[in-house]
Amino acid sequence: MLIFPFILEFVISLTEWQPIYGDFWDAFASVFTHKINQGVGYNYLITDEPRYLQALGRTVIISVISLCLEFVIGLALATLFLKKFWGKRLWFTALLSPMMIMPVVVGYTWFMLFQYNGPVNQFIGWITFSETNLMWLNTGHLAFIAVITTEVWHWTPLFFLIMLSGLNSVPENPIRAATVLGASNFKIFWTIILPNMKAVIIIAFVIRGMEVIKLFDEIYILTRGGPGTATETISLYLYKLAFEDFRLAYAGSAAFIVLIITVVLINMMLKPIRYQLVEGR
Amino acid sequence: MSEPVLELRSISKNFGENQALDDVNLTVEHGSLIVLLGPAGAGKTTTLRIVAGLEAPSSGSIFIEGADFTKHQPNQRDIAMIFDNLALYPNKNGFENIASPLRIAKTPKDEIDRRVHEMAGMLKIDHILERTPATFSGGERQRVALGRAMIRQPRFYLLDEPLSSLDFMLRIDLRTELKRLQRETGQTFLFATPDYTEAMALADTVCVLLDGKVRQIAKAQELYDEPVDRDVARFVGNPPINIIPARITRDNGTVNISVGSMTMPLPAKMEHGLPSSVSNVEIGLRPEHVRIVESGSDVIHLTGIVNDLEPLGMHTTVGLDLEGVNLFFTVEGVQEFKDGDKVDVHVDLESLLFFDPETGRRIT
Amino acid sequence: MAKIKLELVKLCKEFGELNAVDDVSIAIEESETMALLGPSGCGKTTILNMIVGLEKPTSGEILIDGKSVLNVPPGQRNVGLVFQDYAVFTHMTVRQNLAYGLKLRKMKQPEIDREIYKVSEFLSLGHQLDRKPSELGASELQRVAIGRTLVTNPEILLLDEPLSNLEASMRNQMRRELRRIQGETGQTIIYVTHDQIEALSLAHQIAVMNLGALQQYDTARNVYEYPANRFVGSFLGNPPMNFIRGKLAEDSGQRVVSSGESTMPLPAGIIGADMTIGSDVVVGVRPESLNLAAADNPGRFTSEVLAVEPQGPETVVTAAFGDSSFKVIVPAGTDAEAGGAITLAPQSDLVALFDAETGVRLMNSGGA
Amino acid sequence: MPESKFTPFNLLGLVAGLLFAVFPIFWMVSTSFKVRSEWVTSPPTWISERPTVDNYLTILAPHILLARRGGTDQGDEDFGGSKDDGVGGANADFLNRSAWPGIKGTVIISVCATILSIVVGLMAAISISRYRFGGNFTPFFILAGRMFPPIAIAIPFVIMFGPKVFDMTDTYFGLIVAYAAVTVPFSTWMLKSFVDELPQEIEEASMMDGYSRWGAHLKVTVPLIKGGIIATALFILILNWSEFLFALVLTYTEVQTIPVQLSKYFSATEGTLYGVQAALAMVSIIPLVVIGFFIQRHLVRGLTLGAIKR
């Protein structure tokens, strides 16, 4: 079910085929009648299509920033949950709720919030005691921040959940051993608990990393990659290429390059989680 | 029944490059209780799984009542197996657990009720038929597993360390009860365990399995008194046998055995079977074959210095340094001496075992 | 009397209405070794946690070197605890594990290195110092856990089930190692275990616990040979002590216990003044305290053999007495098989009489 | 875990976290009850003075709204617009606002795709877990299926579903197959982690009792991991329910799903119909939150491909 699309993709990317040229089978045949463009699509993309590389760059930046933010906030919240407090169960469900919301709805919700006269500006106004009306979705770097905020809001609960289960899976006895040896809670956290959670933290970054580079729904609704290409991630660029400019051939080759990059990324990431996944321990 | 109930003919099995079983041959007669004895990882469970059909042997064949069953699926072999974690169905109550083989065989409902209640009576577990396994005690779980295996009168039973999860006192009681049950029903049991005391207490014959090879098949006491090699001798018996290098010397007719700086004449009847020429051997000395004697008594004795004392209630294990040779022996009850004391001991030479240093096989 | 190192005074701990530890008082002397022995769930681990400070007692006092430590936090009680699963810090090397306690005590590095060298030589961990715990075997991990605590030379060293995670073959060797550590360091050690072999072989004094209550606290020998009640008798000994229930009777001048048609003569010294003939009694005798008796031995009795279980050096024979049975240890060569008869006589000084209801020992033929 | 006390600073952190998480949801809920005039105001109105259910009626029961307004065209003030502009005016335009086709589409597609994905996933999970099927290539392949950006798969799908090939564009069957294809990795891994937790001996014991190999799997393993299967199915349902890209790309008019429908609430005259959009968003969210609450325990397992079990 999944292998066939990849082969197909590779084939198209070699051809100049456009939907308007006629039906697909001729293009398919043309591959074998050496009318292919010798992969001109590929070098075109890399050499003189800056937008492609920029989109890749933007995707990486967005991913890195949002992952780090999600990790810090998630871990902080998780450590708070180690302590006992009233209504813990309710609080826990509330904190998890953003994760349950459809990406599309998240997009629309934050679209409303980031309106010129929306509550975000109002909120900032309260804090900075000044009348602020930032054009969130229309100015380059602000849109960038908006997208990251949305992503962080949507998926921090997952980090929170993984960190919490990580904290709970740290074996009890080494902590008690350290206590008896005289270590303070703070010292125990840094020298025993955190190192023990290295595997869990890696898994969280890997799993979330796989998701965030595929970001499409929220951005498509929030800024559609705008203003201009300020928030255009690789997914959006491919979408535009394939379904707006209908240059399927280029979209094919671009997508194929992305597949290759993802394969490389998988192998890199597979090592830490392979043990977990294959053994299922 | 002339044909043996089970026959393993040169069964070998390897997982990747590690050789789990190497040319295992075993014949199980009808109504006997054979125990597969060996340390963890010796291949006991693999053997049972091959007999059950859960694993296919790499080579060799399995004959059940004379017919070749090597290729058959588990459910075609009519064998019952009790796993070490008893593998009860957690979502079914006691009654259903015991009745499951009959349900699968589509036995009529009223017959199932009759036979399950009859079995529960015999195993004294009628009171737990309605409850689920999570609420059972160790002994009850074990009896339900037994009930499930016996309800369908299979050809024979495979038991993979069924007592290992029980606590100490219950294990001793259930062990005797299992033996009584086997004797009364005349069924054939193939029982795997790493605990040699369990093996000796239960078995008609013990089959010692070490590193996937069958080392010895013998009666329980024979296994202890005449082990086939060094490893079996070390494995059976706690505190373990002392294996000490020694030299056999012959001068004018009498055979002497010297250990370190000590030399003692061997009693005449021990000489047969010993190699004629001067040679190095390894002697096996059971801890109970060394007795303390009053200092200065006329019996041939040696003096050594105590270097370890382990009171164990019934016996006390004493570590002795006999002129550089370290050995352990057991003394009745709780003795009153300390590290460093000098002690005179008499070694019962008649019960010595001799092993070939290279092959480890027993000479006499 | 040597200095009392640790004293528990009327210690109690309740979890809800279950009182896990019920009025336990124990004193242990300097460089003595003591074993807290009992089945799982008898409160021994709770006591361990209270001594170390990981749990607060509901009532009672804990004195170390005479001073109360109740409100001293676990880190400052200078007691060492070795866990059953060793609880070694897997992400650190052996050296870092050993140094952890010393770093907390703000020791200077050269001093730390010296201490680590000393303890690693003592526990023969010299060549493992820079390896990760994942590469070590069970007994090495155990030594790292012990070393990590020993290096901070605690007032008291507590070990929680030290041998239960080891392979059977390793246990003999590890028990020898623990005895060597005891001897050479003179450390006051408390073992918490459910394994009687461990307790008997490692501890001078044994405190037998059951359902939170202290059953008996005495030297290993007294606990084994003169159990204070039926529980202690049944918990120690392999196979455990036989408890023969019957009526006290007079048979040609000799006191006997009879049940059904079998009778067992009792050694003279056992009967106290207040025991009336015909009352219910329970006789406690260890399988190894019953010996084969010659035909003319006055104290002999015969009973039918039910089962024979060879054990190697000895054989365990199960024989009938009234409607119950008892086990006896006979030398390997004895010719006894199921259905036959066997004549036995109890060893005069090792028979105990227990109260039928409370199980408390009434009289002991050994006089202790 | 060290039980240090709960300092006020911690409370501050918790409250901030809660506000950040809950506020947007609160905002959407309140917008769905706002009258159109309150949709976009400055300063923004947090809670509507005249909460109305019209937005919900627009998407769920437009005829009631129409009937209430006497079937005529005159706008009324609660729609904040004069007669001639927008919503109240063009009935046809009004009627196609109803969300029912979208809801129908989403329900059918996500349920069928979930069932297909679970069935395939269960077979794969059992064979990987019990027979090491596919050696170590399978984990890579299944992980890859999940890691590739959907857009990279969407392009070939569009072509594959194109007129001359399978001709499945804009059909229910097409989208179901697409959704199943993308979610099989999830279902396989999550089910595998449940199957792994079941000791193999129980199956083998049932084989000894008389079941064949796959008989044991079906009669013993599946009933024992029933809870796991339900949790996985619900989890996959959430994924399918909220999928947007494939729907956007593979469907035009015939097949509608909620996410795509959400982006259609744009009237030429007064821009995005925020209230109506919020209403549909609310309608589509409720089942997800309810399901999410039920399988909360298994969420970690699902999202981390079974790598982490809480």
Pair (C167, C266) in one structural domain: no
Pair (D175, D260) in one structural domain: yes
Domain membership flag for residue D15: no
**Alpha-carbon distance C77 to nearest alpha carbon in chain B (angstroms):** 32
Would the pLDDT of D174 be above 70? yes
Chains D and C touch (3+ CB pairs under 8 A): no
ipTM above 0.90, yes or no: no
Residue keyed to tokens 């200078």 = C78
For a pLDDT cut of 70, what percent of chain D falls above it? 78
Tell me the chain D residues in contact with residue A192 when contact means C-beta distances shorter than 8 Å. Answer: none
> Smallest Cα–Cα separation from B95: which of B131, B136, B68, B121?
B131
Confidence of residue C63 (pLDDT cuts 50, 70, 90): very high
pLDDT of residue A278: 47
Name the 3-class secondary structure at B199: helix
Q: Which residues contact D227 (CB under 8 A, 6 or more apart)?
A: none
Pair (C276, C139) in one structural domain: no
What CATH number does residue A227 fall under?
1.10.3720.10
What CATH number does residue D147 fall under?
1.10.3720.10
Domain membership flag for residue D221: yes
Q: Is D44 on the interface with A (CB under 8 A)?
A: yes
What does the pLDDT look like over C283-320, one tens digit per residue?
888 888 888 888 777 778 888 888 888 888 888 888 88
> Smallest Cα–Cα separation from C354: which of C288, C284, C252, C254?
C284
Pair (C306, C158) in one structural domain: no
Q: Which of C200, C235, C270 is the last residue of a domain?
A: C235
Interface of A with C (CB under 8 A): 171, 173-174, 176-184, 187, 191-192, 195-196, 198
The stretch D80-108 carries a mean pLDDT of 60
Across the interface, do C168 and B194 touch by the CB < 8 Å criterion?
A: yes
Tell me the chain B residues in contact with residue C309 when contact means C-beta distances shorter than 8 Å. Answer: 175-176, 179, 200-202
**Alpha-carbon distance B148 to nearest alpha carbon in chain D (angstroms):** 9
**Alpha-carbon distance B288 to nearest alpha carbon in chain C (angstroms):** 7
For a pLDDT cut of 90, what percent of chain B falls above it? 22
Pair (C284, C187) in one structural domain: no
Domain membership flag for residue D204: yes
Across the interface, do A176 and C85 touch by the CB < 8 Å criterion?
A: no
Tell me the chain A residues in contact with residue C101 when contact means C-beta distances shorter than 8 Å. Answer: 181-182
> Smallest Cα–Cα separation from A111: which of A150, A154, A151, A69?
A150
Map A46-70 to HEC letters: HHHCHHHHHHHHHHHHHHHHHHHHH
Pair (C274, C231) in one structural domain: no
Pair (D109, D158) in one structural domain: yes
Q: Is D245 on the interface with A (CB under 8 A)?
A: yes
Q: What length is written for chain B? A: 364
| CA–CA distance, C360 with B324 (Å, rounded to integer) | 49
Beta strands B189-193 and B33-37: pairing type? parallel
Pair (D178, D246) in one structural domain: yes
The stretch C29-54 carries a mean pLDDT of 90
Are the C-beta atoms of C13 and C55 separated by less than 8 Å?
yes
Pair (D107, D34) in one structural domain: no
Domain membership flag for residue D181: yes
pLDDT of residue D92: 47
| CA–CA distance, B76 with B69 (Å, rounded to integer) | 9
Pair (D69, D115) in one structural domain: no
Pair (C114, C175) in one structural domain: yes
Pair (D67, D142) in one structural domain: no
Pair (C250, C185) in one structural domain: no
**Residue D43, preceding peptide bond in cis (omega within 30° of 0):** yes
Across the interface, do C81 and A171 touch by the CB < 8 Å criterion?
A: no
**What residue numbers bound the domain in which D82 lies?**
29-95
Which residue in B49, B50, B81 has the most chain D C-beta atoms within 10 A of its own C-beta, making it the best mutation to test that interface?
B81
What does the pLDDT look like over D197-223, one tens digit per residue?
888 888 888 888 888 888 888 888 899
Which residue in C55, C81, C84, C150 has the most chain A C-beta atoms within 10 A of its own C-beta, making it the best mutation to test that interface?
C81
Would the pLDDT of C234 be above 50? yes
For residue B139, report the phi and psi dihedrals to the nearest 5 degrees: -65, -40
Across the interface, do C75 and A198 touch by the CB < 8 Å criterion?
A: no
Pair (C164, C186) in one structural domain: yes
Would the pLDDT of C43 be above 80? yes
> Smallest Cα–Cα separation from A209: which of A63, A94, A35?
A63
Confidence of residue C247 (pLDDT cuts 50, 70, 90): confident
Pair (D150, D176) in one structural domain: yes
Pair (D182, D118) in one structural domain: yes
| CA–CA distance, B113 with B121 (Å, rounded to integer) | 12
Q: Which regions of chain B are under pLDDT 70?
A: 1-2, 273, 275-278, 295-297, 334-335, 364
What does the pLDDT look like over B198-207, one tens digit per residue?
998 888 899 9
Residue keyed to tokens 């597969």 = B36
Would the pLDDT of D72 be above 60? no
Confidence of residue C37 (pLDDT cuts 50, 70, 90): very high
Pair (D133, D48) in one structural domain: no
Q: Which of D69, D95, D121 is the last residue of a domain?
A: D95
Superfamily of domain B242-355: Nucleic acid-binding proteins (2.40.50.140)
**Residue B194, preceding peptide bond in cis (omega within 30° of 0):** no
Residue ranges of A 9-28 with Cβ closer than 8 A to chain D = 9, 12, 23-25
Q: What pTM did the predictor assign? A: 0.80
Find, in chain B, the residue whose alpha carbon is nearest to that of D202. B87
Which residue in C170, C200, C208, C243 has the most chain B C-beta atoms within 10 A of its own C-beta, making it the best mutation to test that interface?
C200
**What residue numbers bound the domain in which C212 lies?**
4-235
What CATH number does residue C166 fall under?
3.40.50.300
Q: How far is CA B256 from CA B246, B248, B249, B267, B361, in A?
A: 10, 6, 5, 9, 21
**Alpha-carbon distance A173 to nearest alpha carbon in chain C (angstroms):** 5
Are the C-beta atoms of C75 and A183 separated by less than 8 Å?
yes
Interface of B with D (CB under 8 A): 52, 54, 73-75, 79-81, 83, 85, 87-91, 100-101, 104-105, 148, 152
| CA–CA distance, A280 with D198 (Å, rounded to integer) | 12
Which residue in D209, D217, D224 has the most chain B C-beta atoms within 10 A of its own C-beta, making it the best mutation to test that interface?
D209
Find, in chain A, the residue whose alpha carbon is nearest to that of D44. A118
Q: Which of C184, C202, C235 is the last residue of a domain?
A: C235
Residue ranges of D 170-199 with Cβ closer than 8 A to chain B = 199
**Alpha-carbon distance B60 to nearest alpha carbon in chain C (angstroms):** 32
Sign of dihedral through CA atoms A229, A230, A233, A235?
Answer: negative
Domain B6-234, CATH: 3.40.50.300
Beta strands C156-160 and C188-193: pairing type? parallel
Facing A177 at nearest CB: one of C53, C81, C91: C81
Would the pLDDT of A89 be above 50? yes
Facing D207 at nearest CB: one of B75, B85, B152: B75
Count contacts between A and C (CB, < 8 Å). Answer: 59
**Alpha-carbon distance B291 to nearest alpha carbon in chain C (angstroms):** 14
What are the boundaries of each domain within chain B?
Answer: 6-234, 242-355
Q: Give the range with max mean pLDDT: B286-290, C265-269, D255-259.
A: B286-290
Would the pLDDT of C34 be above 90? yes
Across the interface, do C176 and B167 touch by the CB < 8 Å criterion?
A: no
Q: Which residues contact D38 (CB under 8 A, 6 or more apart)?
A: D45, D48, D49, D50
Across the interface, do A82 and D21 touch by the CB < 8 Å criterion?
A: no
Confidence of residue C205 (pLDDT cuts 50, 70, 90): very high
Across the interface, do D165 and A5 touch by the CB < 8 Å criterion?
A: no
pLDDT of residue C306: 84
Across the interface, do C91 and A174 touch by the CB < 8 Å criterion?
A: no
Quote the Cα angle for C210-C216-C218, to 5°. Answer: 140
Q: Is A261 on the interface with D (CB under 8 A)?
A: no
The stretch D127-148 carries a mean pLDDT of 71
Domain membership flag for residue D106: yes
Name the 3-class secondary structure at A206: helix
Q: Which of C216, C235, C254 is the last residue of a domain?
A: C235
What are residue C82's DSSP bridge partners?
A: C159
What are residue B306's DSSP bridge partners?
A: B320
Map chain C to HEC letters: CCCEEEEEEEEEEEECCEEEEEEEEEEEECCCEEEEECCCCCCHHHHHHHHHCCCCCCEEEEEECCEECCCCCHHHCCEEEECCCCCCCCCCCHHHHHHHHHHHCCCCHHHHHHHHHHHHHHCCCHHHCCCCHHHCCHHHHHHHHHHHHHCCCCCEEEEECCCCCCCHHHHHHHHHHHHHHHHHHCCEEEEEECCHHHHHHHCCEEEEEECCEEEEEEEHHHHHHCCCEHHHHHHCCCCCCEEEEEEEEEECCEEEEEECCEEEECCHHHCCCCCCCCCEEEEEECHHHEEECCCCCCCCEEEEEEEEEECCCEEEEEEEECCEEEEEEEECCCCCCCCCEEEEEECCCCEEEECCCCCEEEEECCCC
Tell me the chain D residues in contact with residue A220 when contact means C-beta distances shorter than 8 Å. Answer: 244
Across the interface, do B224 and C310 touch by the CB < 8 Å criterion?
A: yes
Find, in chain C, the residue whose alpha carbon is nearest to that of A180. C75
Q: Is D168 on the interface with A (CB under 8 A)?
A: no
Q: How far is CA A154 from CA A149, A158, A215, B342, in A?
A: 8, 9, 12, 79
Pair (D124, D244) in one structural domain: yes
Are the C-beta atoms of A81 and A256 separated by less than 8 Å?
no
Element (H, E) at B64: strand B59-64
pLDDT of residue A11: 60
Across the interface, do C81 and A176 touch by the CB < 8 Å criterion?
A: yes
- Is the model more confident about B32 or about D129? B32
> Smallest Cα–Cα separation from B203: which of C328, C309, C314?
C309
Between the two ends of chain D, the Cα-to-Cα distance in Å is 16
Could you tell me how many helices (H) and strands (E) chain D has, helices first? Answer: 17, 2
| CA–CA distance, A208 with B188 (Å, rounded to integer) | 58
| CA–CA distance, D128 with D188 (Å, rounded to integer) | 9
